[in-house]
C-alpha cells in the first residue's frame, strides 16, 4: 500500500516540509536506495523508509527540510559531552522521526512520529524556520556549539548539513547526538562539518538490538569508523535493569570501547521509567557506580556516571589520567572549576588531555554565571 493511500494529516503536514535528498542512489523502476542510516532502505515509488519521514515520490527521495520540532540553547554537558568546551552552550535543534523504536526512548514523543498514534500531536511543536534564522539565533544566545538531537539526526542529515555549513563559517563546533546506526556514506557526507559525535551503545547483545530496530554490528562499526576519521567521539550507555546491567555485558562494552581507544569517554547513565518501559524501576545508583568502576577496570581513562543525584559521585569530574588532578570539576551541568591549559594539557604534569578545549581558559563560564576563573587558581 502506498503512503498516498494511508496518509494521515500528520504525515501530510510533514511531507509538505521536505525537499529532494542527497543521501540515496537511483535504482531501476523508480526505486531508490537510501543510505542515511544503516538500514539502507530500498524504497519503492510511493513508499516510506523505516524512519517514516524519508519517502520516494516519483523516483525522488524526499527528506525532511525547513523546520524544527525543538530548538534550545543549553549546556553541552547535557548532551552529554564532557570533553568539548566545558561550560559552553550548545544550540540544539531537532526534527521528528527515528530509524529505531526503542521501548525506553526518553524522546519518544518526537522520535516515534508516524509510527505511534499517540505522537500525532507532536507536529504541533513544528516551527518552520530557515538555516539562516537558526544561525542568527545561535549568535543571539552566544552558543559556541550547534547540536542536532531530540530525534535521530542521521535521518535528517541533509537539513543538518545546511545548518552546519553556516555554523562552521562562523567558528561554531557542530555535533551529532546519535544512535550510531550510520553508514560510511553518511559519515563522509557529514565529516566536513562535524567536530564530534555522541553515540549510544545500548547493549552488546545483537538480539536486544534487533528488538530496538537495529543491528549491533552497525553501531560497533560506526564507533570504529568515527574514531578513525579523527572526529571526537563520546559513547553513552543507558544502564537498564534486566536489559543490559550485568557486569559481564558492561565489561564487554567497556573493553570494546577501550580496544578502539582508552581515550574515548564512556558515560554510564541511569535509566528512568518512560514510554513502554514505565513499569521498570529506575537504575540504582550502586549499579551505575559499579558500571563506572568496570569501565576503569577495562582500561578506559575517562568514565562518567550520569543521571544520579548531583554531587553524589566522583565520576562527574574530569581527572588527569596520569597525576589524577581534577581538571574539570562539575556539579550537574555547571562547571565549578576548570584547569586545562590553552594547549589542552594538564597544568600539573603536562600530558595532553584528549578532547576539544577552550583556547582561553580564563573565559570559561563557571557556576553557570559566565564568571571567568583564572587557570590553576
Grid cell 559556541 in the structure block, residue? 144
- Determine the pLDDT at residue 110: 87
Indicate whether 119 and 183 sit together in one domain.
Answer: yes
Measuring CA to CA, how many Å separate 95 from each of 22, 34, 48, 177, 348? 18, 18, 17, 13, 44
My answer on whether omega of the bond before 80 falls inside 30° of 0, hence cis, is yes
Indicate whether 55 and 97 sit together in one domain.
Answer: no
Contacts of 9 by beta carbon, 8 Å cutoff, 6+ apart: 120
Indicate whether 49 and 183 sit together in one domain.
Answer: no
Does residue 342 lie within any of the structural domains?
A: no
* End-of-domain residue from the set 64, 79, 96: 64
Grid cell 540544539 in the structure block, residue? 92
Grid cell 559531552 in the structure block, residue? 81
Exposed/middle/buried for residue 194 (C-beta within 10 Å: 0-12, 13-18, 19+): buried
Indicate whether 283 and 166 sit together in one domain.
Answer: yes
Contact 204, 252 (CB under 8 A): yes
Contact 365, 339 (CB under 8 A): no
- The C-alpha atoms of residue 315 and residue 317 are separated, in whole angstroms, by 5
Indicate whether 58 and 152 sit together in one domain.
Answer: no
Indicate whether 267 and 169 sit together in one domain.
Answer: yes
Indicate whether 55 and 175 sit together in one domain.
Answer: no
Count structural domains, the chain: 2
Dig out the grid coordinates for 85 from the structure: 568546551
Indicate whether 228 and 142 sit together in one domain.
Answer: yes
Indicate whether 141 and 289 sit together in one domain.
Answer: yes
Contacts of 362 by beta carbon, 8 Å cutoff, 6+ apart: 372, 373, 374, 375
* End-of-domain residue from the set 64, 93, 113: 64
CATH number at residue 257: 3.20.20.70
- Determine the pLDDT at residue 7: 66
Indicate whether 34 and 155 sit together in one domain.
Answer: no
Indicate whether 284 and 195 sit together in one domain.
Answer: yes
Query: Would you write out the chain's pLDDT as a tens digit for each of its 377 residues?
Result: 344 445 688 899 999 999 999 999 999 999 999 999 999 999 999 999 999 999 999 999 999 999 999 999 999 999 999 999 999 999 999 999 999 999 988 888 889 988 888 887 888 899 999 999 999 999 999 999 999 999 999 999 999 999 999 999 999 999 999 999 999 999 999 999 999 999 999 999 999 999 999 999 999 999 999 999 999 999 999 999 999 999 999 999 999 999 999 999 999 999 998 888 888 899 999 999 999 999 999 999 999 998 887 766 789 999 999 999 999 999 989 999 999 999 999 999 999 999 999 999 999 999 754 444 333 33
Does residue 372 lie within any of the structural domains?
A: no
Beta strands in the chain (DSSP E): 18-20, 24-26, 32-34, 42-43, 55-57, 60-64, 67-68, 70-75, 89-94, 127-128, 145-148, 173-178, 196-200, 232-239, 266-270, 303-306, 318-319, 326-331, 334-338
- Determine the pLDDT at residue 6: 52
Backbone angles phi and psi of 366, in degrees to 5:
-110, 150
- Determine the pLDDT at residue 108: 86
Backbone angles phi and psi of 297, in degrees to 5:
-60, -30
- The C-alpha atoms of residue 145 and residue 363 are separated, in whole angstroms, by 16
Q: Residue 247 sits in which domain range?
A: 67-335
- Determine the pLDDT at residue 106: 84
As a whole number of Å, the end-to-end CA separation of the chain is: 67
Measuring CA to CA, how many Å separate 211 from each of 93, 165, 205, 260? 28, 36, 10, 26
- Largest distance between two CA atoms of the chain: 68
- Determine the pLDDT at residue 312: 67
Amino acid at each position: 500500500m502506498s503512503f498516498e493511500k494511508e496518509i494521515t494529516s500528520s504525515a501530510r503536514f510533514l511531507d509538505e516540509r521536505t525537499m529532494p535528498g542527497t543521501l540515496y542512489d537511483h535504482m531501476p523502476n523508480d526505486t531508490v536506495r537510501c543510505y542515511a542510516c544503516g538500514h539502507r532502505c530500498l524504497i519503492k515509488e510511493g513508499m516510506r523508509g523505516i524512519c517514516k519521514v524519508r519517502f520516494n515520490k516519483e523516483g525522488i527521495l524526499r527528506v525532511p527540510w525547513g523546520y524544527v520540532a525543538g530548538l534550545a540553547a543549553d549546556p553541552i554537558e547535557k548532551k552529554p559531552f564532557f570533553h568539548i568546551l566545558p561550560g559552553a552552550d550548545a544550540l540544539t535543534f531537532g526534527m521528528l522521526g527515528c530509524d529505531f523504536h526503542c521501548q525506553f526512548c526518553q524522546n519518544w514523543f518526537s522520535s516515534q512520529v508516524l509510527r505511534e498514534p499517540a505522537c500525532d500531536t507532536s507536529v504541533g511543536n513544528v516551527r518552520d524556520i530557515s538555516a539562516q534564522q537558526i544561525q542568527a539565533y545561535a549568535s543571539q544566545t552566544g552558543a559556541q556549539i550547534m547540536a542536532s538531537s531530540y530525534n535521530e539526526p542521521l535521518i535528517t542529515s541533509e537539513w543538518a548539513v545546511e545548518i552546519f555549513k553556516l555554523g562552521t563559517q562562523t567558528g561554531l563546533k557542530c555535533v551529532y547526538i546519535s544512535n550510531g546506526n550510520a553508514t560510511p556514506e553518511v559519515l563522509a557526507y557529514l565529516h566536513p562539518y562535524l567536530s564530534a559525535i555522541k553515540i549510544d551503545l545500548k547493549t552488546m547483545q545483537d538480539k536486544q538490538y534487533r528488538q530496538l530496530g537495529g543491528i549491533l554490528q552497525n553501531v560497533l562499526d560506526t564507533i570504529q569508523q568515527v574514531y578513525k576519521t579523527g572526529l571526537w567521539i563520546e559513547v553513552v550507555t543507558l544502564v537498564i535493569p534486566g536489559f543490559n546491567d550485568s557486569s559481564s555485558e558492561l565489561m564487554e562494552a567497556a573493553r570494546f570501547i577501550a580496544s578502539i581507544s582508552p581515550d574515548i569517554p564512556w558515560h554510564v547513565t541511569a535509566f528512568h521509567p518512560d514510554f513502554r518501559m514505565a513499569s521498570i524501576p529506575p537504575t540504582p545508583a550502586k549499579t551505575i557506580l559499579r558500571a563506572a568502576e568496570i569501565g576503569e577496570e577495562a582500561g578506559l581513562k575517562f568514565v562518567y556516571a550520569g543521571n544520579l543525584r548531583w554531587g553524589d559521585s566522583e565520576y562527574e569530574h574530569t581527572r588527569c589520567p596520569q597525576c589524577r588532578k581534577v581538571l574539570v570539576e562539575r556539579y550537574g551541568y555547571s562547571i565549578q572549576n576548570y584547569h586545562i591549559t590553552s594547549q589542552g594539557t594538564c597544568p600539573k604534569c603536562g600530558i595532553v588531555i584528549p578532547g576539544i578545549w577552550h583556547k582561553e581558559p580564563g573565559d570559561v563560564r563557571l557556576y553557570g554565571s559566565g564568571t571567568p576563573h583564572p587557570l590553576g587558581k
